[in-house]
Structure 1
Amino acid sequence: MSDLEIRPAAPEDIPAIVAMLADDSLGAQRESPDDLTPYRMAYDRLAGDPNQHLVVAARGGKVVGTLQLTVVPGLSRRGSTRSIIEGVRVHSAERGSGLGTRLIEWAVDESACQGCQLVQLTSDVTRTDAHRFYERLGFEASHVGFKKPL
Structure 2
Amino acid sequence: MYKIRKCQKEDVPAIVAMLANDKLGMLREDYREPLAQKYYDAFEKIDSDSNQQLAVIEDERSKVIGTLQLSFIQYLTYQGGKRAQIEAVRVHKDYRNKGIGKQLFAWAINEAKTKKAHVVQLTTDKKRPEALKFYESLGFKASHEGLKLHF
Q: Same fold (TM over 0.5)?
A: yes
Structure 1, residues 99-136: CA drift from partner, whole Å, max 9, x if none? 00000111000000011000000000111111110001
Q: Secondary structure at the match of 1:142?
A: coil
Q: Secondary structure at the match of 1:25?
A: coil
**Partners in 2 of 1:68 and 1:24 — Cα distance?**
18
| Range that drifts further, 28-37 or 118-127 | 28-37
Output the amino acid matched with 1:55: A
Q: Secondary structure at the match of 2:126?
A: coil
Any conservation in 2 of the 1:15–1:36 contact (CA below 8 Å)? Answer: no
Deviation at 1:149, TM superposition (A): 2.0
Structure 2: unaligned runs, 5 residues or longer: none
**Partners in 2 of 1:98 and 1:36 — Cα distance?**
31
Structure 1, residues 10-40: CA drift from partner, whole Å, max 9, x if none? 0000000000000100001000012431110
Matches within 5 A, 1:1-150: 1=1, 4-34=2-32, 35-59=35-59, 60-150=61-151
> What is the CA RMSD across the aligned residues, in angstroms?
0.8
Q: Secondary structure at the match of 2:70?
A: strand
Any conservation in 2 of the 1:22–1:30 contact (CA below 8 Å)? Answer: yes
Q: Give me the TM-score of the superposition, normalised by structure 1.
A: 0.96
**Partners in 2 of 1:135 and 1:149 — Cα distance?**
26
Please identify runs of 4+ aligned residues in structure 1 that moved more than 2 A: none
Deviation at 1:61, TM superposition (A): 1.1
| Range that drifts further, 114-123 or 28-37 | 28-37
Output the amino acid matched with 1:51: N
Structure 1: unaligned runs, 5 residues or longer: none
Output the amino acid matched with 2:73: V
Deviation at 1:146, TM superposition (A): 1.3
Matched positions, count: 148
